[in-house]
Chains A and B, each alone.
Chain A
Amino acid sequence: MDDAQTDHATRPGGTQSIEAIQDDFRGRNYIADRSLATAVFLALELGRPLLLEGEAGVGKTELAKVLAASLGARLIRLQCYEGLDVNTAVYEWNYPRQMLEIRLLEARGEAEHASAHDIFGRDFLIRRPLLQALESTDGVAPVLLIDEIDRADEEFEAYLLEILSDFQVTVPEIGTITAVQPPRVILTSNRTREVHDALKRRCLYHWIDYPSAQKEFEIVLARVPAAPERLAREVVAFVHRLREADLTKVPGIAETLDWASALLSLGARELAPDLVDETLGVVLKYEEDIRQVRGDVARQYLAEAAARG
């Protein structure tokens, strides 16, 4: 296949290349492997939303932030939750302001001649993230992060599918608002439920795994540059051992980084059993998990981690 290796790493006329994305992300302390960088590249080039799935704490949300920074684009975030509705996600009428306007019209004696248009105009619209993303005219298409879509109701997901198909919303009193520059869309899911196939078909997809020990080690060094290499390696090895354990919640990358920072601020140069026991609360978020690991188990994991390293 070597004969096909030509010098088109940077596509003529193209915005980015896969390597450029990887390099740029690395410069922003985000270590993306080739397949993730490829998914990002294609999502940008094909103009498709990118659905990222993976366990909590593998860097799905972070990717959207880094992408926005990389593109010099505004990041607009919609955090999903059960019961999320159009009023919170798209737009809402500014009811107090409408009331005030009515009072003013009355006071001026104009209420008789006023029409509904006078209080259902764009001035009275509260723009929620989705509408903000569609109306953005920054010059650079914004990055729209729809975070934890699996937490939203399926009805909302269906509504979202419509928006992502046409990049337009209809406000009955005003009309249809179409995106001037369709946003770059990143969706994340922790897979507490399966995202509907219809939405998945709209999107490119990437499952983000926990990083390999080597990759996570690089992440720690990039994010906590003051951490001694030995400490970073031991922390990563220990966390990797924890991820194999039967815990209520295994630590994500964020916990690894928090732990490394905490240990660093305690002046640690390497992991020691007492130190692990004292700081376990930074890595494990459930009391029963901490109780399970603290003491002998931690000692055993530490020994295993040392053997691996």
Chain B
Amino acid sequence: MTDPAIVQAPWGDTVDGRRLLGEAVGFGRALRAAGLSVDLGAAVDYARSLTLVEVGDREQVRAAGEAIFVRRRDDRVIYDAVFDRWWRQRRRRHQGEFQPPALPTEEGGDDEGEGDGLPLPGEERRQGAADERGVPIPSRTEDAPDDSSPIEGVVISPDAYSQGEVIRHRDFDRMTPTELREAERLIDLLEPGS
């Protein structure tokens, strides 16, 4: 009947899981650009977590991302800096209403590896530049990478992972269109509101 990606959030609004995932993936990419080890599974978890916490509550959203994206103590400083920037951009875009960005901007497509994504804590950032960059959704198909590229991390045994598991742990920059669609399907994991 309806699009399975459209789910009801606990607070009553309907949420487009795909766009929510886009927002989460975008944030994940910003964190990756800043040096954190982030995979798609974490982004999916983050999308799910955004349906569980109060998305208007900065501290809850910050803490949710921290629990999911931070994996070592030293990551925290980087995380907080990237979150600050992301939250400010998001607030300006949506004025407190939760909506993911519409589409990646031109400049947003290839900013990975620029290395200037991370403002030092406390540093006043160049707002304009940061805004233009946005948080792109990795939907480009023309440069879809080799399907056989190795999965990040150590796979203990081939049987240890289901197909979904492989996707979860895949570096989302190296995903094929098919895998991206599969990733979007994972948003079904979003719990429908009761």
Contact = CB atoms under 8 A, between A and B. Distances in A.
A11 B53 CA distance: 9
Contacts of B41: 201
Q: Which DSSP category, helix, strand, loop or mixed, fits chain A's interface?
A: helix
Q: Which DSSP category, helix, strand, loop or mixed, fits chain B's interface?
A: loop
B180 interface: no
Interface stretch (A204-212, A230-238, A286-294): A204-212
B67 A8 contact: no
B23 interface: no
A42 B49 CA distance: 7
A96 interface: no
A37 B190 CA distance: 21
Nearest to B68: A204
A18 B60 contact: yes
B95 to A, nearest CB: 9
Contacts of A158: 154, 156
A165 B161 contact: yes
B45 A46 contact: yes
A5 B10 contact: no
A4 B54 contact: yes
A13 interface: yes
A29 interface: no
Most chain B Cβ neighbours within 10 Å, of A194, A198, A206: A198
A8 B53 CA distance: 9
Contact of B194 (A13, A43, A48): A13
A198 to B, nearest CB: 4
A198 B193 contact: no
A37 to B, nearest CB: 8
A214 B119 CA distance: 31
B11 A161 contact: no
Given A18-B60, A198-B154, A42 B67 contact: yes
B160 A48 contact: no
Given A13-B193, A18-B53, A207 B70 contact: yes
A1 to B, nearest CB: 5
Interface in B9-68: 10-12, 37, 39, 41-42, 45, 48-49, 52-60, 62-64, 66-68
Contacts of B76: 207
Contact of B73 (A34, A198, A207): A207
Contact of B54 (A8, A45, A197): A8
Given A207-B70, A207-B73, 14 more contacts: A1-B58, A4-B96, A8-B11, A8-B54, A11-B52, A39-B66, A42-B64, A45-B49, A53-B73, A158-B154, A165-B165, A198-B154, A200-B72, A207-B76
25 contacts: A1-B96, A2-B56, A3-B96, A4-B54, A4-B57, A6-B54, A8-B12, A11-B10, A12-B194, A13-B194, A34-B63, A35-B66, A43-B67, A45-B49, A46-B48, A48-B45, A50-B67, A53-B72, A159-B156, A165-B165, A198-B153, A198-B155, A204-B45, A206-B67, A207-B76
